[in-house]
Structure 1
Amino acid sequence: MTAASETGRFLIIDDHPLFREALHSAVQMAYPDVDTVEARSIAEALDLLAGATSFDLALLDLSMPDVHGFDGLLQLRTRHPRLPVVIVSGHEDAKIISEALSYGAAGFIPKSARKDDLAAAIRSVMDGAIYVPQNYQPQPADADRTDRADMVQRLSKLTPQQLRVLQMLRQGMLNKQIAYELQVGETTVKAHVSEILRKLNVYSRTQAVIEVAKLDNADLFREQAGF
C-alpha cells in the first residue's frame, strides 16, 4: 500500500460487531478506498492471512474468545512478522500498553477514542509511526531490566535437552519434527514443552518464543544446547 494510492486491505479482528463497525468506519475515514475484511476470532484471522490475498494492516482487540492475554498478538507476530498489528483495546493500563509494544505491536489505540482520533491513529501507523495514547507514560527502563533478568534466571532452570527443544521451537518446528531430530517420541517432546512453559512461567509455546527472542540470546542457546 502506498501513500499516493491509499488503497489496500485492512484486517479487523474483533468479536464484537459494534466495535468492528466502528473500526470499519474509522478506516473509511482515514482511507476511503481501502477494503476491510473482518474476523471474529484469531483462528479466523489466521485462516484469512494464510490465503492468497495480502493485508497492509491488522487492527486487533486483545480480548478475543479463542486466546488468552497477548497470545493472539503473539501468534500474528510470529506467523506474519511483516504485518503491522495495531492493538485496539478497552484496556488502557500503561503496563499493558508497554507489554503490547514489547511484543511488536505497531501501536495501541484505546477503544474510547473518537472516530476521528482512530482515523488519525491509523494514518500515523501507516506513515511508519508507533501510535500510543497521549497520556501514555512508558514504563521505567529498570522494570525492563528486571523482567529480562527474571527470564534469564528462568532459562537457567532448563535442562540441556529442554534448551534444545526450546531452540527448535524458536525455529518453528512442530512436535513431530522435534521428536524426529531428537530421536524420541512425541509424548516425550510434549512433556519437555510442558516443563519449558512451567519453568519460564508462560502460558503458550508462542509466548515462550517471543519472550526468549527479546533476550537476543541465540548464541547462548546454541552454546548451552550444543548447536
Structure 2
Amino acid sequence: MRILLVDDHALFRDGMALLLKELDPAVQTVHAAHLEEALAALDHDTGIDLVLLDLILPGANGFQALETIRERHPGMPLVMLSSQEDQVTVLRAIQLGAMGFIPKSASSQQMFEALRTVLAHGIHIPPLSLAGIALTVPAQPRTSPAELGLTPRQTQVLRLILEGKPMKLIARELGLSHNTAKTHVSAVLRALCVTTRTQAIVAASRMGLVLGRDDQ
C-alpha cells in the first residue's frame, strides 16, 4: 500500500511514516507539504492507495484542500488529520468526502488504533465526535458486511460509498447501470439503517466495520 501524507510539518510527516511502517512494514509513504505537491503526486503517481490529509495547509483555507482533491480525484480514499476535532469539523470533513478522521491530539496508542483501522480499510471517527448523533444502529463489536445481510455486490457498493465515490462513479467502476447502482445503494443504506453517506460512515465507525479489497 502507498499512502500520501499531506502536512506542512516535515517532523509530523516523518513521525506518521514511522508509525505506518511499525504497523505494516509493507507500507510506502509519499510526502507533500502543501496542496500543489499533493495534487502533483496524485496526478503522476497512479499507485497511491490512500491520502492522509491535514485540514489546514499553506494556501488552502479550511476544507479547500479536501474539496479540491475530491474534485480532481473523486475515487481516491481520503482520511482527514487535524488538531481540530469538534463535531462540526469532523462531520463537515465526512460530508465533503473524507472516509475518516484522525485527531492529532490522540495519544500514541489511540493513533496506533486509528491507523490500524484505516490500514485495514476500516472507518475511524473520534468517539467524542459521535456523541449526540442519533442513529438506530447501536455501537457493537467489529461487524462484517455478511452479518448485515449484504450480498457480495452490495459489499462492493458499500466500500465505494465509504470511499466517497458518487453514484456515477460507482456505476462505472462496477459496470452497472445507473438504476441498478441506485438500487444497490438504497439497499446498503437500509442495511445500515441510515439515509445518507455521512450517516453511513458514522454507522460503519460505530460498528467497527472493516471492508477488505478482495471483494472485487
TM-score by length of 1: 0.55
Give the 3-state SS of the residue equivalent to 1:132 in structure 2.
coil
Match of 1:18 among 11, 15, 19: 11
Counterpart of 1:117 in structure 2 is 110
Partner of 2:163: none
CA distance in 2, matches of 1:35, 1:112: 24
CA distance in structure 1 between the aligned counterparts of 2:120 and 2:68, rounded to whole angstroms: 24
- Any stretches of 5+ residues in structure 1 without a counterpart? 1-7, 142-213, 215-227
Letter in 1 for 2:62: G
Letter paired with 2:120: D
- How far apart, CA to CA, are the structure 2 residues paired with 1:20 and 1:50? 20
Long gaps (5+) in structure 2: 135-197, 199-216
Q: Distance in 2 between matches of 1:31 and 1:57?
A: 14
1:121 Cα offset (Å) = 1.4
1:90-109 alignment to 2 at 5 Å? 90-109=83-102
- Counting only pairs closer than 5 Å after superposition, residues 70-109 of structure 1 correspond to structure 2 as 70-109=63-102
| Counterpart in the other structure of 2:119 | 126
| 1:24 CA displacement | 1.0
Question: Shift of residue 126 of structure 1?
Answer: 3.4
Judged with a 3 Å threshold, the aligned counterparts in structure 2 of structure 1 residues 111 and 47 are, in CA distance, closer, same or farther, namely same
Q: 1:26-45: per-residue Cα shift (whole Å, max 9, x none)? A: 21122111111100001100
Q: 1:134 Cα deviation (Å)?
A: 2.0
Instruction: Write the letter of the residue equivalent to 2:74.
Output: P
Matched to 2:70, the amino acid is R
- Code of the aligned partner of 2:37: E
Are the counterparts in 2 of residues 26 and 115 from structure 1 also a CA contact under 8 Å? no
Distance 1:76 1:139, change over 3 A: farther
In the alignment, which residue of structure 2 is the partner of 1:41?
Answer: 34
Q: Is the 8 A contact 1:29 1:116 kept in 2?
A: no
CA distance in 2, matches of 1:87, 1:127: 16
Greater shift in the superposed pair: 126-135 or 17-26: 126-135
Query: What corresponds to 1:65 in structure 2?
Result: 58
Aligned pairs for 1:203-218 within 5 A: none
The range that moved more, 98-107 or 20-29, is 20-29
Which one-letter code corresponds to 1:14 in the other structure?
D
| Aligned-partner Cα distance in 2 for 1:122–1:140 | 24
Q: How far is 1:138 from its partner?
A: 5.5
Distance in 2, Cα, partners of 1:69 & 1:62: 6
> What's the offset of the Cα at 1:105?
0.6
Q: Which has the larger radius of gyration?
A: 1
TM-aligned CA deviation for residue 140 of structure 1: 5.2
Is the partner of 2:57 in helix, strand or coil?
coil
TM-score by length of 2: 0.58
Matched positions, count: 137
| Paired residue secondary structure (2:130) | coil
How far, CA to CA, are the matches of 1:128 and 1:34 in structure 2? 13
- Structure 2 distance, partners of 1:127, 1:33, is 13
Partner of 1:50: 43
